[in-house]
């Protein structure tokens, strides 16, 4: 499934992101333009990153992978 969300990481209300997280299964892959698009701040982002990885979700950050 490909999903494009128009909100930035600083947007507080991200209903599509919340729905997507509920559907994720082990070995799914999430692709972000940048790590900064995953969350509102670094503390929340770090927590979310490790939570997703611990649940077997692959994370790809296009700008940081260069």
The predicted-structure confidence for 1-10, as pLDDT tens digits, reads as follows 666 665 554 5
pLDDT digits (tens, 9 = 90+) for 35-51: 888 887 889 889 999 99
13 inside domain: no
Question: By residue range, what is the domain housing residue 47?
Answer: 25-65
Q: What angle do CA 53, 56, 57 make, to 5 degrees?
A: 70
5 inside domain: no
49 inside domain: yes
Question: How far is Cα 23 from Cα 10, in angstroms, rounded to an integer?
Answer: 22
What's the pTM value of the predicted model, to 2 decimals?
0.75
DSSP H or E stretch at residue 47: helix 42-54
């Amino acid at each position: 499934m490909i999903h494009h969300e128009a909100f930035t990481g600083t947007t507080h209300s991200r209903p599509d992101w919340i729905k997507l997280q509920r559907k994720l299964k082990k070995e799914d892959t999430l692709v972000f333009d940048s790590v900064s698009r995953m969350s509102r701040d670094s503390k929340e982002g770090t927590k979310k990153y490790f939570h997703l990885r611990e649940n077997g979700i692959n994370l790809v950050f296009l700008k940081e992978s260069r």
